[in-house]
Amino acid sequence: MMAKNCYQIIIKGIVQGIGFRPFIYTLAIELDLKGWVKNSGEGVVIEVELTTVELDIFITRIKAEKPLQSEIYSLEIKLSNWVGYQQFTIKNLDTIDNRRKTAIVLPDLSTCQECLEEIFNSQNRRYCYPFTNCTNCGPRYSIIKDLPYDRPFTTMSKFRMCKECEEEYYNPKNRRFHAQPNACQKCGPKLELWNKKGNILASFDEAIKKSCNLIIEGKILAVKGLGGFHLIADARHNEAIKILRQRKNRPHKPLAVMYPNLEKIKADCLVSDIEKNILLSVASPIVLLRKVSNLNNLNQKESFKNNPKIDNNYISEEVAPHNNYLGVMLPYTPLHHLLLKKLNFPIIATSGNQKNEPICIDEIEALDRLNCLADYFLIHNRPIFRAVDDSIVRVIDNQMMILRRGRGYAPLPIKLLDFPEEKPHKILALGGNLKNTIAIGFNQQIFTSQHIGDLDKPETIKAYKNTINNLSKIYEFQPDLIVCDAHPDYFSSQYAEELSKQKKPSIPVIQIQHHLAHIFATIAEHNLELPLLGIAWDGTGYGFDDTIWGGEFFYISDTEIKRIGSFLPFPLMGGSQAILQPKRIALALLNLVYNNFQNIPKNLSIIDSYSSSELKLFQTILDKKINTPLTSSVGRLFDGVASLLNIIDNITFEGQAAMNLEFLVSDFCPHKTYTFQWQHQENICNYIDWRSIIREIINDYLEKKSLSLIATKFHLTLVEIIKQISQTINTKNIVLSGGCFQNKFLLENTIQVLKQNHFNPYWSQKIPINDGGLSIGQIAFIIRNMR
Q: Which residues bind Zn ion (CB under 5 A)?
A: 112, 115, 134, 136-137, 162, 165, 184, 186-187, 538, 541, 771
CB-based contacts of 534, cutoff 8 Å, min separation 6 = 515, 516, 519, 522, 523, 552, 553, 554, 555, 556, 735, 737
Is residue 79 within 8 Å of residue 7, measured between CB atoms?
A: yes
Nearest distance in Å: CB 111, Zn ion: 6
Nearer to Zn ion, 187 or 510 (CB): 187
d(CA 116, CA 125) in angstroms, rounded, equals: 13
Nearest distance in Å: CB 133, Zn ion: 6
Nearer to Zn ion, 15 or 622 (CB): 15
Nearer to Zn ion, 198 or 629 (CB): 629
DSSP code of 396? E
Residue 446 sits at the vertex; the CA angle it makes with 443 and 447, to the nearest 5 degrees, is 110
Chain-centre distance for alpha carbon 87 = 46
Nearer to Zn ion, 184 or 697 (CB): 184
Of the candidates 40, 47, 42, the residue with the CA atom closest to the CA atom of residue 4: 47
Nearer to Zn ion, 40 or 433 (CB): 433
d(CA 651, CA 673) in angstroms, rounded, equals: 27
Nearer to Zn ion, 221 or 226 (CB): 226
Nearer to Zn ion, 382 or 713 (CB): 382
Nearest distance in Å: CB 744, Zn ion: 18
Nearest distance in Å: CB 188, Zn ion: 6
Nearest distance in Å: CB 635, Zn ion: 9
Nearer to Zn ion, 168 or 696 (CB): 168
H and E: helices and strands count for the chain: 24, 30
Of the candidates 42, 118, 47, the residue with the CA atom closest to the CA atom of residue 84: 47
Residue 284 sits at the vertex; the CA angle it makes with 282 and 285, to the nearest 5 degrees, is 140
Is residue 645 within 8 Å of residue 701, measured between CB atoms?
A: yes
Nearest distance in Å: CB 434, Zn ion: 8
DSSP code of 399? E
Nearest distance in Å: CB 501, Zn ion: 27
DSSP string, 45-86: EEEEEE-HHHHHHHHHHHHHH--TT-EEEEEEEEEE-----S
Nearest distance in Å: CB 159, Zn ion: 9
Nearer to Zn ion, 135 or 391 (CB): 135
Nearer to Zn ion, 556 or 600 (CB): 556
Q: Which residues pair with 485 in a beta bridge?
A: 512
d(CA 716, CA 744) in angstroms, rounded, equals: 12
Nearer to Zn ion, 192 or 654 (CB): 654
Chain-centre distance for alpha carbon 350 = 15
Nearest distance in Å: CB 320, Zn ion: 24
- Beta strands across the sheet bearing 427-429: 414-415, 445-448, 439-442, 427-429, 481-485, 509-512
Is residue 46 within 8 Å of residue 21, measured between CB atoms?
A: no
Query: What is the C-alpha R_g of the chain?
Result: 28
d(CA 602, CA 547) in angstroms, rounded, equals: 32
Nearer to Zn ion, 133 or 449 (CB): 133
Nearest distance in Å: CB 552, Zn ion: 10
Nearer to Zn ion, 538 or 700 (CB): 538
Nearest distance in Å: CB 519, Zn ion: 11
Is residue 322 within 8 Å of residue 660, measured between CB atoms?
A: yes
CB-based contacts of 580, cutoff 8 Å, min separation 6 = 650, 651
Nearest distance in Å: CB 139, Zn ion: 11
Nearest distance in Å: CB 512, Zn ion: 12
d(CA 122, CA 108) in angstroms, rounded, equals: 27
Phi, psi for 656 (deg, rounded to 5): -65, -45
Q: Which residues pair with 349 in a beta bridge?
A: 232
Which SS3 state, helix, strand or coil, does residue 317 take? helix
